[in-house]
Amino acid sequence: MRIGELAERAGTSTRTLRYYESRGLLPARRDGKGHRTYDEGDLRLLRQIRTLQDFGFGLEETRPFVECLRAGHPQGDSCPDSLAVYRRKLTELDALIGELTSVRAQVGAQLERAERARAVLAAEAEAPGGPAPRCELTTTEGAER
């Protein structure tokens, strides 16, 4: 098949295919007229690359999976190098989850503080005689701004 058909079937652009070719991820075969030619195996390579990229893998991280498919394995993730990339990605994801969990805890604490401060202000507003006069130069804790 020609580059346009491969791009359409893979859901990508011809420009992307040429880029993958320049990076050595897609073979650069040409017919007698100089046109790029591809087969079903190339489509399988592209689908593997796209799936991994959808999962957050960088283009270079897809290389072991492509090489595994090229080596004749039915799945691109059955080779040792592919498994190593999976392990590294899981370690990265675990670290990110840890960071996000920490940020979430901080945001949750800020929300609780803000809700308590709002409740205090609401209670003061409902007190007989209205709210107590507030100095605009201090916070509710009495520290200067």
For the chain, the structural domain boundaries read 3-125
Which pair of tokens denotes residue 86? 């999976």
What's the CATH code, domain 3-125? 1.10.1660.10
Mean pLDDT of 95-107: 97
Q: What are phi and psi of 134, to 5 degrees?
A: -120, 140
Residue of higher predicted confidence among 106 and 142:
106
Say what the pTM is.
Answer: 0.71
Can you tell me the mean pLDDT for 6-23?
Answer: 95
**144 phi and psi angles, rounded to 5 deg:** -70, 150
68, 77 contact by CB (below 8 A): yes
pLDDT at position 84, please?
97
Confidence class for position 6, pLDDT limits 50, 70, 90:
very high
Which tokens in the block code for residue 75?
């799945």
